[in-house]
Structure 1
Amino acid sequence: MKNIAIYWIAAGAFLVGTSELVIAGLLDTLAADLNVSLAAAGQLVAVYSFAFAIGSPVLTALTARVNRTKLLAGSLVTFAAGCLVAFVSHDYALLLLSRIVLALSAGIYTVVSLHVGTSLVPPEKKGRAVGTILLGTSGSMVLGVPLGVAVGHAFGWRANFALLAALALVVALAVRMTAKAASEATPSVGSADELPRGQRLARALNGRAVSALGSSLLWITGYSTVYTYISPFLQTRSQVPGGQIGSVLLLFGVCGVAADRWGTSKTLTWTIALHAAALLLLSVAGQRPWSALIAGAWACSAWMTLPVLQVRFASLDSRSSGFLISLNSSVIHLGIALGAALGGIVIEAAPLNALGGIGAAVVAAALPLVALSFRASSAVRAEGTNVN
């Protein structure tokens, strides 16, 4: 029963991950349907990420004493309600409201799911439980988003949210029924062997962690500047038909999963450098046959970076690793919002191809911070401190 519960929790992670990312692949269709500009449609991504980054830690802390299983199932019910609001939205303001509801419910689910999942298994199996739940998130990139784009092009973008709402209610009921054993109130972040919140914050505010967080913010901001507008960008620059955008998004997800096995310091530096180079080349390649190959290089380099960053934060300080990973999650969503906002400004003032150059510059700015973080780690190791 416990293993079944973890699989259902992973299914919920699949749904919330799909709802966050699928919008980018349908941006041009959605903008045309709501009669708004691409820049305005892109702010649906920015608002979601701002709400996730700022609101979910606050709500998770406020609900710290609520039964974790009930909160997990309740967040999925709220998520389903947000999907239904999106489904019936026929104006921009209502859809914007639905994105806020989805972001807050998804944020709570993302944090609480890991605690419920690990509470169901003995200590020696906690890592496997976390991996299974995170596989749901990876699956949303690999399968959920491409399928969602295909559904959107076939039946309209609203069909995605109707389907997600129905599935979320089923998963919420399954989670509640199979995970009753995890009823104790647990902390919103971290684990029992970590330091108290205040001490974790103090330990996190060091040169290694701050520079690593800065590199994470710049990397995802540059990425989001282009990815938010990926559908019109690829159709304009690389002649990728709208119906094939899902195939490109599938490549993003596959590369992210493959990178789980390649977490090294050099990988982080090289993937960020390749990411910046690919975006720059996309901005000048125009409609040439090899533009699709550059898009593929961008996809692989972009999503090979994320798991390496997570490994980096997990190894910076064993007693505050959970806090650092949680903090990085908020930083990443903040960067997604900033990138969507920056991309909106760019396409209002310049041609679409300018997105690649701007995104490349922001991504490249992360490289000095990566070097600084690893240099600081080397200095600490030289002093005999056990860090990565």
Structure 2
Amino acid sequence: MKYYKWSDKGNGRKIGKIGNYCLYEKEITEEKCEEISETPRPGYGTFKFVFGPSAGGLLETIKFNIITNGEDIINISYEPFKTRIIEVSGLNIEDATLKIERINAPFTASHTIAFLLAVEDALEIEQDYEIQLKRIAEIELERIRNHLFVISRLTETASLNVPTYHLLSLIEKTNRLIGKMCGHRYFFGVNKINQIECNFDSLLKIIYIAKEFKQIFDGLIESRIFIDRLQQNGIVKDETSIGPAARASGFEYDARKDFEILPYKDLDFTVIKENDADAFARFLVRGYEILESTRILVELSDKINGNKKEKVSTKNKDGEGLARVESPSGDLAYYVKINNEKINTIYLLSPSLINIKLFVKSVKKTIFTDFPFNWESFGIWISELGVILK
């Protein structure tokens, strides 16, 4: 592995569990990564309340076991109902990619690019610079779309219909732009080893979407009705956090900066941070990141040329690789072991699996009416939680 090394005990920032191992910034432990889970039990003056399994009020089906005294959330645990076993072992890279890109459609670019970067690492494939820039363009477009969606979920929860529908229209415009450039609005069939089937000639049109968003964003920042539901809600400042949740707590955790497998170092961008560690801070980080990602895409528009296809040169047929990218919700990583150009072993580190544990920490001692605002601020996808790759 070019970018990671095995170690007895990881050093630096701990990212999370991948397979049975612990992933750190630049190391993966050889010992199993043990995680402690607790089952909340009612105590004196409290009772157990089950929220779900239901999609009512939530986008995806999940069950929460809540210990409450009637209003306050004393403790909470979760049970995802979507367990999906995806068989990848024994497949060649192209067939495996078809399954990887469908794990979570809104994060297709992040999943597929992380997977292919790990494969290229394992097979010691020399990555083309322009292809790497195009991969950045995909991920930043995906970040803009996802952040628009999370903010629309927050405004919908607050019954702010005008900004909600305006944001949904911007998501559709982003999807149409992606579809025009790449042939599919969720990047299906776009990514291959050292190849991307996209023509980014229309990339600058993202500016008009960002300008419309800026007007909505400025209005939301001035709305006391909206702000009051987010401020001081779901406060959590934890060194194990990732993505917007970490940056909303003042941590400069960002794989774009601390893991240079994609050439973000050649681009001028700022890691957005807030310090209040609540739902409002997470909203602000996502809003400002939409504008920052737009600036990245504008810069990329001058660096990306045409739609050329690179010849893939494979040095090896066997090897192991590990790659990490900054998905819209935080660190997303794949480990692969390849034998004879087929997948032998594959592990996934999902950002939603990390964020839901952080959400559980944040929701304790809040009240139930604040629950949906806090939940939506984390941008968790239940579809990622129950994925088992074999």
TM-score using structure 1 length: 0.30
Relative to its length, the structure with more strand (as a share) is 2
